[in-house]
Amino acid sequence: MNTIAMKPVSVTNDVVSTNRSPKVISRGVKVFYGEKEALHGVDLDIHEREVTALIGPSGCGKSTFLRCMNRMNDVVEGCRIEGKIEIDGDDIYDRRIDVVQLRARVGMVFQKPNPFPKSIYENVAYGPKIHGIASGKEELDEIVEGSLTRAGLWNEVKDRLDKPGTGLSGGQQQRLCIARAIAVSPEVILMDEPCSALDPIATARIEELIDELRENFTIVIVTHSMQQAARVSQRTAFFHLGDLVEVGDTSQIFTNPKEERTQAYITGRFG
Amino acid sequence: MSSTLVLAALLLMMLASFAVGRQRALATADGHARTLHSRPPYYGTYVAMWAAVPALLLLALWVIAQPTVIDMVVRNSLPDDVRTLSSDKLSLVLTTIDNLANGRAVVGEPPAYAKEAAARLLSLRATSSWAMTVLVIGLAAVGFFFAWRKVNPALRARNDVERAAVWLLIACSAIAILTTVGIVFSMLFETLHFFSMVPPQDFFFGTVWDPRFTAVGRDGSAGQFGLIPLLWGTIFISLISMLVAVPIGLLSAIYLSEYAHKNVRAWVKPLLEILAGIPTVVYGFFALTTLGPLFRDLGASVGLDISATSALTAGVVMGVMIIPFVSSLSDDIINAVPQSLRDGSYALGATQSETIKRVVFPAALPGIVGSVLLAVSRAIGETMIVVMAAGIAAKMTLNPFDSVTTVTVKIVSQLTGDLEFNSPQTLVAFALGLTLFVVTLGLNIYALHIVRKYREQYD
């Protein structure tokens, strides 16, 4: 299976690498939960300042792979990872890499909006504070305003920065979480089904935002909606049963997939 | 027939009516249970309910009212000169009559009217017993036939039974609430009685506690009942116990919920909760025999004068007693903080301790404050440890090495031994109890309010 899955990877990588350089390189990534192998060796390159969508049916390992990139799987008991993931040439599972610094470089937005039960301001200022990014109050204010502006939330909340973040609507909460993530100026932002708890209008707003953020960040998004993958991403990777089946330019994956399983999934024949 | 036998007969009738009602329902439906509105057991319960409940109520009423009514009849039948005796002597006569009726020995030769009354008492009791048996069983039969006749497939037996179940539950809660109300009122009346002897301002603002036990009953020697020294002792000891319990309990809760491996947690948490199962009197003698002397000797070795019964000893032991209270409640509250908040914090590069300090703890804080307040009210109401370890001298002192006393200790000491319930020396216990009740009630309400407010945050 692995050999089948690897072929299209190398092919498409050759095509696209002329376009942009890989920001994240993963080779032979296997994940075990206890005895169970959840990922069977994934080779995937994530390109800089592009949106890469990870699609596939539930339980295919796309979220697991996403959480490998900021080592959030470390928190899960009994989880073991093999293989290699490099960000800008640094092996993130190397002993010398501090997970705290890694997560400052790789931000994450979760499926359900999870603002802290603090004020809107404190939510955004949280990351800069723990990493000591701002040297003073003014700089912190600037970071908060900048992040909220880039998350498209500033105009809605500028008059109530001291109100609790949990009081916002679902879509606003998710944009607050995005602002919180970009406040520490990460290089990569991971999004784990960021719109699955939101209504269509809030979803459209977040999708727009993802498109804008592509200017400055490398984004990896896990999504169950193939329309969403088609709308926001430049590259798409299809996972199935713990294998990376196919990866390529989004237009190619959705119009002319090379693998039969990809074809079957995107046309809705299984999943 | 005695009331116990009647009760047994009623229970038998109830079982029989259940069976009969069930059979009757099936018979009216020609054995097709599906055509019945409710399942057959509901019809059985319906009939049994009608047979038993009114009869049981009558029985209960009869048992409660019978002695009073008979007593009144006997009393009214006594000769006029006896009836107009002073209440002390009248009750003596009534006791004599009661003893005669029950065949117990009586001092001297009882007067004729007493013998007569005793005979009347006996015959009244016999009559009442028969009347009760007939009426109760009769009522049960009437109820049974009433319900039996109503049984038919269209009868909504289930709805009636369900409604009756709700009433049963309401009655049980009402008993619990009424008991509380009754306790409060009995305390309130005794307290008012106390305040008719000692002015409230002397009680609430008095700074001297000196009830002068030796002078009980003598005129013009009411004693002084200042609440302040006792209240101070209570607050002082609670404060010391909180200084012990809150940090230890809270930090162990954080360890258990955030750091401990789940196997460790599975062992440590129950072990910690065993502490809560130790009777407080055991803590009390631990304080008295071990910790008190230890502190005294330690103090002596560094030149401090620590008395064996001190605020410190009582406070520390009480703190140990309260640790599982604080840690268990806080542990539950910290666990209720959603994992997604922790993930959010970790994903921003926060370490575990930063996450706990800045996200988990603040999120859990209102709940933790609530649990601490509950622990405080526990400390304030605690009696046994302070009785044994804190001493009995009512002093207003800031020295933790000195012995102090608390409200609860004084309630105990005012109410132990031979007493009469009409001197301020004993009645003050009710005033103290009511004060304590109000304070802990206030704390509990405040604590529950805070805990509830916190809960709403994640729903």
**Could you say which residues from 141 to 200 on chain A have a Cβ atom under 8 Å away from some Cβ of chain B?**
166, 177, 180-181, 184
- Per the DSSP assignment, residues forming a β-bridge with A246 are A238
Look at residue A12 and tell me whether its pLDDT is greater than 70: no
Look at residue A18 and tell me whether its pLDDT is greater than 80: no
Nearest to B340 among A104, A107, A112 (CB): A112
Query: φ, ψ for residue A237 (rounded to 5)?
Result: -120, 130
Q: Tell me, yes or no, whether B283 and B412 share the same domain.
A: yes
* Alpha-carbon gap: A114 to the closest alpha carbon of chain B (Å): 6
Please state, rounded to an integer, the average pLDDT across all residues of chain A. 88
CATH number, domain with residue B360: 1.10.3720.10
The structural domains of chain A, with segments of one domain joined by +, span 2-110+188-266
Q: Tell me, yes or no, whether B83 and B182 share the same domain.
A: no
Residues B397-455: tens digit of each pLDDT: 888 888 888 888 888 888 887 667 778 888 888 899 999 999 989 988 988 888 777 66
- Per the DSSP assignment, residues forming a β-bridge with B412 are none
Spatial contact of B297 and B223, defined as CB atoms under 8 Å apart: no
Return d(Cα A263, Cα A259) in angstroms, integer. Answer: 6
Q: Tell me, yes or no, whether B243 and B136 share the same domain.
A: no
Return d(Cα B73, Cα B204) in angstroms, integer. Answer: 47
Q: Tell me, yes or no, whether B424 and B326 share the same domain.
A: yes
**pLDDT category, B159, cuts 50, 70, 90?**
very high
- How much is the average pLDDT of B311-338? 91
Q: Tell me, yes or no, whether B182 and B248 share the same domain.
A: no
What pLDDT is stored for residue B459 in this prediction? 43
The rounded Cα B70 to chain-centroid distance in angstroms is 33
Q: Tell me, yes or no, whether B432 and B295 share the same domain.
A: yes
Return d(Cα B335, Cα A138) in angstroms, integer. Answer: 36
Read off the amino acid at residue B434: L
Domain of B177?
A: 156-197
Residues A88-129: tens digit of each pLDDT: 989 999 888 899 989 999 999 999 999 998 899 999 999 999
Q: Tell me, yes or no, whether B234 and B361 share the same domain.
A: yes
Whether residue B204 is contained in a domain is answered as: no
Residue A152 zone, left/alpha/beta (φ > 0; ψ -120 to 50; rest): left
ipTM above 0.90, yes or no: no
Q: How many domains does chain B have?
A: 3
What pLDDT is stored for residue A48 in this prediction? 92
**pLDDT category, A232, cuts 50, 70, 90?**
very high
DSSP string, B135-195: HHHHHHHHHHHHHHHH-STT--HHHHHHHHHHHHHHHHHHHHHHHHHHHHHHHHHHHHHHH
Q: Which residues of B touch A108 (CB under 8 A)?
A: 347
Return d(Cα B415, Cα B423) in angstroms, integer. Answer: 11
* Alpha-carbon gap: A174 to the closest alpha carbon of chain B (Å): 12
Whether residue B164 is contained in a domain is answered as: yes
Containing A4, the helix (H) or strand (E) segment is helix A2-16
**A2-110+188-266: CATH superfamily:** P-loop containing nucleotide triphosphate hydrolases (3.40.50.300)
Residues A51-81: tens digit of each pLDDT: 999 999 988 999 999 999 999 988 788 899 9
Residue B160 has which token pair? 């009636």
Q: Which residues of B touch A115 (CB under 8 A)?
A: 344
What pLDDT is stored for residue A11 in this prediction? 36
Q: Tell me, yes or no, whether B382 and B447 share the same domain.
A: yes
Mutate to test the interface with A, among B348, B352, B357, B358 (most CBs of A within 10 A): B348
Look at residue B213 and tell me whether its pLDDT is greater than 70: no
Q: Tell me, yes or no, whether B229 and B349 share the same domain.
A: yes
Whether residue B203 is contained in a domain is answered as: no
Q: Tell me, yes or no, whether B88 and B117 share the same domain.
A: yes
Taking CB atoms and an 8 Å limit, are A184 and B348 in contact across chains?
Answer: yes
Whether residue B207 is contained in a domain is answered as: no
Return d(Cα A158, Cα A144) in angstroms, integer. Answer: 10
Q: Tell me, yes or no, whether B50 and B184 share the same domain.
A: no
Dihedral angle computed from the Cα positions of residues B407, B411, B413 and B416, in that order, rounded to the nearest 10 degrees: -170
DSSP A220: E
Taking CB atoms and an 8 Å limit, are A72 and B345 in contact across chains?
Answer: no
- Whole-prediction pTM: 0.74
Whether residue B166 is contained in a domain is answered as: yes
Q: Which residues of A touch B345 (CB under 8 A)?
A: 116, 126
What pLDDT is stored for residue B221 in this prediction? 52
- How much is the average pLDDT of B27-56? 90
**pLDDT category, A147, cuts 50, 70, 90?**
very high
Q: Which residues of B touch A70 (CB under 8 A)?
A: 347
B360-389 in b/e burial notation, b at 16+ Cβ within 10 A?
Answer: bbbbbebbbbbbbbbbbbbbbbbbbbbbbb
Whether residue B206 is contained in a domain is answered as: no
Q: Tell me, yes or no, whether B162 and B109 share the same domain.
A: no
Whether residue B36 is contained in a domain is answered as: yes
- Tally of CA atoms within 13 A in the half-sphere of B395 that contains its CB: 15
Q: Which residues of B touch A177 (CB under 8 A)?
A: 344
What are the Cα distances from residue B293, in Å, to B239, B290, B305, B345?
Answer: 22, 6, 12, 49
Whether residue B314 is contained in a domain is answered as: yes
- How much is the average pLDDT of B13-31? 91
Look at residue B58 and tell me whether its pLDDT is greater than 50: yes
Report the candidate in A89, A73, A76, A78 with the shortest Cα–Cα distance to residue A27: A89
Containing B315, the helix (H) or strand (E) segment is helix B311-336
Return d(Cα A86, Cα A26) in angstroms, integer. Answer: 6
